[in-house]
Structure 1
């Protein structure tokens, strides 16, 4: 966590499935703004310790971190699965929210889940996989979907550090409207996990004020941290 009390607006970063808040470190450190890298609950415990968690448990855990932070106004930046959680979190801080940025993020309609945003065939497949094998993809899927433009060192670290989530974070419905603040969607043009057609669907759900394209795979905070910094700084300059 990085603080700068001379600035009024900070960034709250929400990571995607299987990851940790520190994945945003290279982006946050170069912004010169107060930054809070949120983590999901029970990251260090065994898989069984998280198995009964609901979507609301994740949101409550993040809400507590924001309340302990002390920065009053902030922009939420959410990635992948984190987009579903971000909508719920934003609804709890509507009086403090200055902006909302979705980076290759899942944005369901009000009352939808992460699974609900997927195309029908993939939705059925993922539902079956969650029931039979849980929430940790095989190494080959992580490499192909998340790491297509990462170095081998980055890929190995990601595979080894992948943390399986609770099933309900994928399947619980998120009852939250998109926030009534300036919104940006960062579309990832080389994303193998969230293809362009799916991101276009998420853009239509979010109805952002602007869309920025970034030539990156699914994890631009690792592959293009400087470019993502510049996009976020430009967004902050516009709303501030």
Structure 2
């Protein structure tokens, strides 16, 4: 799968002062979830994808956090935009912290959307309350990272259209368990940061999101009245939040 780029914003020679957006999706999903949001933006946009999507048939079972990060940063390097804001969703919030660490001063802002932000470089599981993290750890090791289709639809898609729901369930990818289980060993970047809470999220509860916002040390938080996938259920509202952040903070 090629990285998804808003092509009308890409020129042969980018202005070094131009700031774009890098979108990072969550586990099991793919970069196409950002299409409706990207269509609303007036800056260069790149939606990166994880390993194991269309055209990449390698096994994901043994891949590490660093393998995922290297796969995404290579796409950013090919893109060519020097400065950008990271917009990261769900488990992509933790992976995005590592991307920001690698990209260094090129990262000018960080927006977490219903995202998992571990404390003190912990694992994704560390954001869950006990005993949830213990139970989920056992399930990931025994059953893998792809939930039953019914669970995907109920937790991720309860406020989506039937067509969107079927697409998400059909295309869901079993990512490496290591991106859930391993420690991220990094911290929030020292840039302007926004956390977008999702009031009706059945995958990450509001208390977990509030803890994640605190771990991010977010400068601001906003709340959208939707479930786990606002880029599909409320793309205009999410796009407006991104534009406001860019206008006021960057």
TM-score with structure 1 length normalisation?
A: 0.96
Describe the SS at the equivalent of 1:64: helix
1:137–1:46 CA distance, 2 compared to 1 (3 A):
farther
Describe the SS at the equivalent of 1:154: helix
Counterpart of 2:93 in structure 1 is 83
Q: Which runs of 4+ in 1 moved over 4 A?
A: 45-48
Counterpart of 1:49 in structure 2 is 59
1:48–1:120 CA distance, 2 compared to 1 (3 A):
farther
Counterpart of 1:14 in structure 2 is 24
Q: Distance in 1 between matches of 2:85 and 2:97?
A: 12
Describe the SS at the equivalent of 1:93: helix
Describe the SS at the equivalent of 2:59: helix
Please state how far the C-alpha of 1:12 moved relative to its aligned partner: 0.2
1:178 pairs with one of 184, 188, 204: 188
1:46–1:27 CA distance, 2 compared to 1 (3 A):
closer
Query: Matched residue pairs, number?
Result: 240
Correspondences of 1:19-30 after superposition (within 5 Å):
19-30=29-40
Counterpart of 2:221 in structure 1 is 211
Q: Distance in 1 between matches of 2:57 and 2:120?
A: 29
Counterpart of 2:155 in structure 1 is 145
Matched, 1:187 2:197: yes
**What is the RMSD of the two structures over their aligned residues, measured on CA atoms?**
1.5
Q: Distance in 1 between matches of 2:57 and 2:46?
A: 25
2:231 pairs with one of 221, 234, 237: 221
Please state how far the C-alpha of 1:92 moved relative to its aligned partner: 1.1
The runs of 5 or more residues in structure 2 that have no matched partner are none
2:6 pairs with one of 2, 5, 8: 2
Please state how far the C-alpha of 1:239 moved relative to its aligned partner: 2.2
Please state how far the C-alpha of 1:85 moved relative to its aligned partner: 0.3
Q: Deviations over 1:173-232 (max 9, x none)?
A: 111110000000000011111111111110111111100111110000000000000000
Matched, 1:163 2:167: no
Describe the SS at the equivalent of 2:96: helix
